[in-house]
Amino acid sequence: MKLFAILFTCLLTYAPLAAAQQGPIVIRFSHVVAADTPKGKAAVRFQQLAEQATNGRVRVQIYPNSQLYRDREELEALQLGAVEMIAPSLSKFGPLDAREFEVFDLPFLFPDEAALHRITNGPIGAGMLQRLRLKGVIGLAFWDNGFKSFSANRPLLAPTDMAGLRMRIQPSRVLDAQMRALGAQPMAMRFGEVYAALEAGVVDGTENPHSNFYTQNLQNVQSHLTVSNHGYLGYVVIVNRKFWEGLPSDIRQALEAAMREATLYAGSIAQEENERALEAIRASGETQVHVLTEAELKEWKSALAPVSVEMADHIGAQLISDIRQAIEAP
Ligand code: LMR
């Protein structure tokens, strides 16, 4: 009788655990942009690859458009284990005290995507991901979006055209310095609030790659856009470290392989997505697009040159110089 009681108690105690272990492992992947963007599409590709590779032992649930959490909240949610995976932009790592990622915000640091990939796919990028472990998260990969354009409700041909404009930025000290160098007033704001803030006139302008601009319908609230390619916006996919290290190792390896493939996919579509979005912005007839001439570009570069000096202590002078060297190396 006593034995029966013990067995019964064990059954009650362990039954829920056993049931939980039998169900699939769920990865909640939260992000703030539209599904129809480089990040949104790469998330779906990861979902397909991960579920296939694990024969359904892993389920990936994607929550786009800040449905679940907004910018900073999703980082907190990840740390608390309320979501398992997020992909914040490189400008949003301040709360983790990983401000070296703001190096990607430096104006005109990367001449093109090839130079950027030399960093994100090379030893410097690997070192940056590795250092995230100290912050309790695992950096799995860099995902591409693209170079940014400025927009406002007036033509932005010369840097002086930015004077006095209230410009929405992501929460990065480097972006703050960038806008101040142009005589504008930076206002850090969540991504999901940008449209309403522009519509209400709380801010006058913003900056983003074209895919983000178009999928947020900013053409309705911005009459001018200048293709300036002044800075880069990309992501790091991060996971909660405890969750990741607690996964069975065969599952973790399958997910790492799925992530590698999803990363290649993100890299293969991002540029085209942004080009297509620019065409769609033009075709909307609502936003006038200006592409900077070489002479105009020179003016913007010289206006923004002081930012990297000013931000050297904040980011780390060594990292900036390592990146410059790696870009220039033959
Ligand atoms: C922004 O806030 O402008 C971007 O970080 C949004 C994103 O995730 O691309």
CA dist 94 and 97 (Å) reads 5
Is the CB of residue 189 below 6 angstroms from any atom belonging to ligand 1? Answer: no
State whether 155 and 41 are in the same domain.
no
pLDDT reported for residue 13: 38
Ligand 1 within 6 A of 208 CB?
yes
Q: Whose CA is nearest to atom 2 of ligand 1?
A: 191
Q: For residues 303 and 242, state if they share a domain.
A: no
Ligand 1 center to 208 CA (angstroms): 8
CATH of the domain at 32: 3.40.190.170
Stretch (H or E) spanning 12: helix 2-22
- Whether 38 and 266 have beta carbons less than 8 Å apart is answered as yes
Residue 257 lies in a domain: yes
**For ligand 1, is residue 66 a contact (CB within 6 Å)?**
no
pLDDT for 25 equals: 97
**Ligand 1 pocket: which of 41, 65, 89 to mutate (most atoms within 8 A of CB):** 89
Considering the domain architecture, whether residues 279 and 292 belong to the same structural domain is answered as: yes
What span, in angstroms and rounded, lies between the C-alpha atoms of 244 and 39?
21
> Residue 265 is part of which domain span?
2-93+112-145+234-270
Look at residue 103 and tell me if it is in a domain: no
Q: Do both 251 and 160 map to the same domain?
A: no
pLDDT tens, position by position, 6-40:
344 434 433 333 344 568 999 999 999 999 999 99
In a shared domain, residues 192 and 238: no
Same domain, residue pair 57 and 159: no
Q: What is the pLDDT of residue 252?
A: 98
Ligand 1 centroid–CA 33 distance in Å is 7
The pLDDT, as a whole number, for residue 17 is 38
Q: Which atom of ligand 1 is nearest to 31's Cα?
A: 8
**202 with 282, same domain?**
yes
Report pLDDT for 9.
41
> 136 with 188, same domain?
no
pLDDT confidence of residue 11: 42
Summarize pLDDT for 131-157 with one digit per residue, the tens. Answer: 999 998 999 999 999 999 999 999 999
In a domain, 116, yes or no: yes
The best mutation among 41, 167, 212, 274 to test binding of ligand 1, ranked by most ligand atoms within 8 Å of the C-beta, falls on 212
Quick one: pLDDT at residue 329?
86
- Considering the domain architecture, whether residues 45 and 137 belong to the same structural domain is answered as yes
Structural domain count of the chain:
2
Task: Looking at the structure, tell me whether residues 120 and 220 fall in a common domain.
Answer: no
Q: Are residues 132 and 211 in the same domain?
A: no
| Minimal-distance CA residue to ligand 1 atom 3 | 191
Taking each helix axis as running N to C, give the angle between helix 38-53 and helix 249-284, from 0 to 180 degrees, rounded to the nearest 10. 150
Is 212 a pocket residue for ligand 1 (Cβ < 6 Å)?
Answer: yes
Residue 21 is predicted with a pLDDT of 54
Which 3 state secondary structure label does DSSP give 113? helix
Q: Which residues have C-beta within 8 Å of that of residue 145, sequence separation ≥ 6?
A: 37, 38, 39, 89, 209, 211, 212, 233, 234, 235, 270, 274
Determine the atom of ligand 1 nearest the C-alpha atom of 89: 5
The per-residue pLDDT for 15 is 39
Query: Is residue 68 in some structural domain?
Result: yes
Q: Give pLDDT tens digits along the chain (330 positions).
A: 444 443 444 344 333 333 445 689 999 999 999 999 999 999 999 999 999 999 999 999 999 999 999 999 999 999 999 999 999 999 999 999 999 999 999 999 999 999 999 999 999 999 999 999 999 899 999 999 999 999 999 999 999 999 999 999 999 999 999 999 999 999 999 999 999 999 999 999 999 999 999 999 999 999 999 999 999 999 999 999 999 999 999 999 999 999 999 999 999 999 999 999 999 999 999 999 999 999 999 999 999 999 999 999 999 999 999 999 999 987
Query: Does residue 308 belong to any structural domain of this protein?
Result: yes
234 vs 33, 58, 260, CA distance in Å? 12, 26, 16
Examine residue 137 and state whether it is found in any structural domain, yes or no.
Answer: yes
Nearest ligand 1 atom to alpha carbon 37: 9
Same domain assignment for residues 238 and 196: no
- CB-ligand 1 contact for 226 (6 Å cutoff): no
Q: pTM of the full predicted structure?
A: 0.92
- DSSP letter at 220 equals G
Q: Within a domain: residue 106?
A: no
Residue 34, helix vs strand vs coil: coil
